[in-house]
Homo-oligomer: A and B are copies of this chain.
């Protein structure tokens, strides 16, 4: 039995989305068991009219609510009885729980997981790895994208190894093409740290390193993993999402500005709906924390039930494929430096 904890409070569609997502995942995977955290009375009421295997679902009462603008460090320290923080502590303390899924605050989740959970032996720093769809129908993982704003080349090498194993084991990408985010293609581009990382990745047989990537090529489909410091990785991901959203918004506004355009758009309705779905990042699963002792998957705050179900599937695949063991084995082949 694989036990996955689902934080039921925090996202925009809570607790409906996590509860319904969990039930859908239970139906698909007979060896899945879910632990829901949150206000027990509310969760019980929501479950009352649902059919599911009661032997594979458990509720842990954690009634505290995290506010929108609470500081992550305060949440970790003071909100121990919130669905998220209680979840992280359960994940740490209960050997039977394999993973956790949350659609709550990214800052609080990452901070909480880094502070409370251990690391996979050998991993210097866990890293946050969201994925984006590429224009050829593939996927690209960006690692790190926010967990570590200050990094060394040794960290980046580990991010490359972890994200490669992740893309291979969870998304079936054979020998993922790994690039280093940089300001130009040539090996000597960027700061000293970037130049060192380039050399280090060339000397790392565990990684199919294909060179530097300029940020304009992220969606080209030429890369499956992009390695970055958490600061520029975050800029890369958020800028892509922001630009896509703003352009869609502009397109919509412009279409509504003239009847002729509205007519044209009517003929293209199906296409526009497909574009919107293509750019809807919750369709591709959540962002994972790589390198923590247990799996943590962060779903978009706007996740509906299907998106939460996808996050649970992701955590399930990470556990079934024994990703953590593989990371440990691969990382142990290289010298590492404690920070």
Contact = CB atoms under 8 A, between A and B. Distances in A.
Contacts of A216: 238-239, 241-242, 245
A261 interface: yes
Interface in A174-204: 181, 183-184, 186, 188, 190-192, 194
A190 B220 CA distance: 29
A215 B239 contact: yes
Copies of this protein chain in the complex:
2
Overall SS of chain A's interface: helix
A249 interface: yes
A277 interface: no
A214 B236 CA distance: 11
A149 to B, nearest CB: 4
Contacts of A150: 191-192
A271 interface: yes
A231 B217 CA distance: 16
Interface in A220-268: 220, 230-232, 234-236, 238-247, 249-251, 254-255, 258, 260-261, 263-268
A211 interface: no
A275 B254 contact: yes
A245 B135 CA distance: 11
Nearest to A259: B267
A215 B244 contact: no
B271 A267 contact: no
Contacts of A184: 107
Nearest to A260: B267
B255 A238 contact: no
Contacts of A188: 71
A261 B231 CA distance: 40
A261 B254 contact: no
A219 interface: yes
Nearest to A234: B183
B71 A186 contact: yes
A233 to B, nearest CB: 9
A53 interface: no
Contact of A246 (B191, B219, B275): B219
A239 B247 contact: no
A218 B243 CA distance: 8
Contact of A214 (B71, B190, B238, B278): B238
A135 B249 contact: yes
A87 B278 CA distance: 47
A222 to B, nearest CB: 12
A247 B246 contact: no
A274 interface: yes
A146 interface: yes
B239 A243 contact: yes
Interface in A281-310: none
Interface of A: 71, 107, 135, 146, 149-150, 181, 183-184, 186, 188, 190-192, 194, 214-220, 230-232, 234-236, 238-247, 249-251, 254-255, 258, 260-261, 263-268, 271, 274-275, 278-279
